Structure 1
């Protein structure tokens, strides 16, 4: 495609505070960047124009990541700016050869591919991109970046991150790293820096019920402000402050228990835990791996840990297409003492139990990296229309790991395990109806759970 045929960026003139990132990526050849910009600073309008120009320069696949595909469709694929211009209209019609509304994808006339993807579905993260944008990064699954980073390093591709703070999570760590790395572009802009939002508009938000913590985050880019609606974030911050996140070696003299949340292979989360009295040593959180059941068990066995048992949620006893339950599949693959919990009647009670246990936990930072990020990100959803938080946590990428660790608390509450030594329950109280049979300890039996005394 001749360079003179189509002018890119198209119908976009950056504001003065937007110009530095445009210059860095379109003129200076910078390949990594973080923009922490306040709400309504024009993040996606600026970034989509950078991507459009990059697509014309180099033929390849370009992915625009959002926390969920639904968010990407609403904000970018179907969204528009304050003046009513659709974001996708920054791609001239002559630049687009064919498009798929269903896949939120189009092919440019020069062969480049543009696609919007949600990192909550890691099975569609995509392959071999040469340019990536992560929008609302603080809400994204960090595994999305872990997956594409080596690809971009190998093919010389570029990546840009934008968003506002949501506490000291992985976006905070990424920003602090970028500030110190001369190879990265980094820009933090508050409303005081841009003047794009008048003070009276922010006061209106306060009067209408926006929590002060959210005001600090959304308009003043304050990473230290408490995350509104956070469920475990403050407890995890205490764990960091108290030195309970670091190196946690596996103790060969203690058995290892695992706690699972089941889903598609990449969404299945498994925590490995040891108990010493009231101390809970969290050794690993395995999630985001596209493994078969056999491969997953083989990876577990390769650690040479002495497993005492494996705790699954109630759906571990559901029959699958092949006729076996997932618990039976794990037993068939080589695990022993696979225990399926009853249906949790009250998620909030389980969350509160886990909150009470977190101060007794220490986490291996390397092996639990994604799980720790999930615990920091897990939050109640804010209803902007009603100016209040919903009763249930937001279901997103962080839910799987957080549910899996919650089953530790559920297992302790119903007596399936005991924190002090983790003995098997010795007294059968009542059968769990509707679960059918499970495999446990190599023999088929009806599954019962004991209650705590």
Structure 2
């Protein structure tokens, strides 16, 4: 269910869970992205129209045998248990077998939580309910679009213009207020379109590159950009250890930057990454741009740095970037995007990362403060690495297409 703010998503889910518990006793979870959010948004929440706690409206007190505030857990006379949990610690829930799980604020949650839950629910015949408001084109949008074509799933998209929660005058005022509060037309519109219009392609609130990528889309620069064998391919990396590794593939023709491919993986070693992402593609390579910390020696790799490891795997020539802050990478990327053409198909995942790369929201000051480190930041950092460290003007000359080089031994 993708619906606008104040539609009543969580309220519907609470009453749905109460009904299911009465007909099929078992364990039911209401899952927020973070456990602390669950207490504020669900456990302690009060209905402003009635003055009663939300959980008391949904779950009658006389049917309960216990109410545990510390665990945010309700136990019922028929054996059912309902609990507020967080997707940020889903791995701590190992061993439980819920019959129903509500994923609230799904667009902000860890998608791995669903990966963990789905076999449990499939085995016991349970259900999952996803409640969300868009935050850019991320896992929530992909799942919604896929499930809308699957007859086994119910999907609902409810923008504010199709419900009776807000009047047209109220919506116009909300939009004007958001523009004023955010300090820019682009940011205010993005937030309004996400929060109220349920616009899947609207930039995530606080997105760094939302406006620039919207312009690229409107100007037809996100299209088919085939590999040109007369131009060398530069790569730019963000290296994760236990996290994501992201690689962009660029060709430069004069001032025109052609973004022809994107690769991303997690949990893979450098040898596997080079085999898949570099040797496995039919490109003639130029420079490989790597972040400055690639020189750091790793304790678990016989004291070798990742630079030494990659050089030993045949990656050359390597350009090690400067130790710049995120603000410099972001500024460089913003300056480069107007010159860039993106292959829509090959760079789909990377474009999703760029659209989702956003500022961190500080709940204490109610303001944005610095980049949010999440799945989007790896692809965005790699893109910024290239934008910051590439040569602004590069000669364009034909190159001879060579046979496979020193990476052949890896298969």
- Tell me if TM exceeds 0.5: yes
Q: How far off is 1:374 after superposition?
A: 1.6
Q: How far off is 1:399 after superposition?
A: 1.5
1:41 alignment partner in structure 2 = 7
Alignment of 1:71-220 (within 5 A): 80-82=45-47, 83=51, 85=53, 116-118=86-88, 133-139=102-108, 159-166=128-135, 184-190=154-160, 193-195=163-165, 210-211=181-182, 213=189, 214-215=191-192, 217-220=194-197
Instruction: Give the Cα–Cα distance (whole angstroms) in 2 for the partners of residues 324 and 399 of structure 1.
Output: 26
Q: How far off is 1:153 after superposition?
A: 11
| 1:232 paired to 2:209 | yes
Instruction: Give the Cα–Cα distance (whole angstroms) in 2 for the partners of residues 362 and 333 of structure 1.
Output: 30
Q: 1:331 aligns with which of 298, 311, 329?
A: 311
Instruction: Give the Cα–Cα distance (whole angstroms) in 2 for the partners of residues 44 and 88 of structure 1.
Output: 14
The unaligned stretches of length 5 or more in structure 1 are 1-33, 423-440, 443-453
When residues 335 and 185 of structure 1 are mapped into structure 2, their CA distance, relative to the original with a 3 A threshold, is: same
Write the deviation string for residues 388-432 of structure 1: whole angstroms up to 9, x where unpaired. Answer: x535233333222111110011212xx5x865459xxxxxxxxxx
2:274 alignment partner in structure 1 = 297
Instruction: Give the Cα–Cα distance (whole angstroms) in 1 for the partners of residues 268 and 355 of structure 2.
Output: 25
In 2, are the aligned partners of 1:259 and 1:271 still within 8 Å (CA)? yes
2:185 alignment partner in structure 1 = none
Instruction: Give the Cα–Cα distance (whole angstroms) in 2 for the partners of residues 407 and 275 of structure 1.
Output: 15
Instruction: Give the Cα–Cα distance (whole angstroms) in 2 for the partners of residues 255 and 59 of structure 1.
Output: 60
The unaligned stretches of length 5 or more in structure 2 are 183-187, 398-405
| 1:397 paired to 2:345 | no
1:255 alignment partner in structure 2 = 232
In 1, are the aligned partners of 2:98 and 2:121 still within 8 Å (CA)? no
Instruction: Give the Cα–Cα distance (whole angstroms) in 2 for the partners of residues 45 and 199 of structure 1.
Output: 25
Instruction: Give the Cα–Cα distance (whole angstroms) in 1 for the partners of residues 30 and 343 of structure 2.
Output: 32
| 1:317 paired to 2:295 | yes
Deviation larger for 324-333 or 370-379: 324-333
2:249 alignment partner in structure 1 = 272
In 2, are the aligned partners of 1:106 and 1:114 still within 8 Å (CA)? no
In 1, are the aligned partners of 2:252 and 2:258 still within 8 Å (CA)? yes
Q: Partner of 1:319: helix, strand, or coil?
A: coil
2:337 alignment partner in structure 1 = 358
Write the deviation string for residues 179-237 of structure 1: whole angstroms up to 9, x where unpaired. Answer: 77765422304277243799779969966964553345434545687755332112222
In 1, are the aligned partners of 2:31 and 2:104 still within 8 Å (CA)? yes
In 2, are the aligned partners of 1:170 and 1:373 still within 8 Å (CA)? no
Q: How far off is 1:41 after superposition?
A: 2.8
When residues 59 and 95 of structure 1 are mapped into structure 2, their CA distance, relative to the original with a 3 A threshold, is: same
Instruction: Give the Cα–Cα distance (whole angstroms) in 1 for the partners of residues 395 and 323 of structure 2.
Output: 24
Q: How far off is 1:382 after superposition?
A: 5.0
| 1:342 paired to 2:308 | no
In 1, are the aligned partners of 2:225 and 2:342 still within 8 Å (CA)? yes
Q: How far off is 1:176 after superposition?
A: 6.5
When residues 147 and 207 of structure 1 are mapped into structure 2, their CA distance, relative to the original with a 3 A threshold, is: closer
When residues 144 and 276 of structure 1 are mapped into structure 2, their CA distance, relative to the original with a 3 A threshold, is: farther
In 2, are the aligned partners of 1:123 and 1:266 still within 8 Å (CA)? no
Q: How far off is 1:270 after superposition?
A: 1.9
TM-score by length of 1: 0.63
Q: Partner of 2:244: helix, strand, or coil?
A: coil
In 1, are the aligned partners of 2:100 and 2:128 still within 8 Å (CA)? yes
Deviation larger for 82-91 or 233-242: 82-91
Instruction: Give the Cα–Cα distance (whole angstroms) in 2 for the partners of residues 253 and 201 of structure 1.
Output: 53
Instruction: Give the Cα–Cα distance (whole angstroms) in 2 for the partners of residues 278 and 406 of structure 1.
Output: 17
Alignment of 1:274-289 (within 5 A): 274-289=251-266
Q: How far off is 1:73 after superposition?
A: 5.0
Write the deviation string for residues 45-81 of structure 1: whole angstroms up to 9, x where unpaired. Answer: 4335546766885989979463xx4675565686534
Write the deviation string for residues 333-381 of structure 1: whole angstroms up to 9, x where unpaired. Answer: 4433333222104x32321221121122233333322221121122234
Q: How many residues align?
A: 378
Instruction: Give the Cα–Cα distance (whole angstroms) in 1 for the partners of residues 28 and 305 of structure 2.
Output: 40
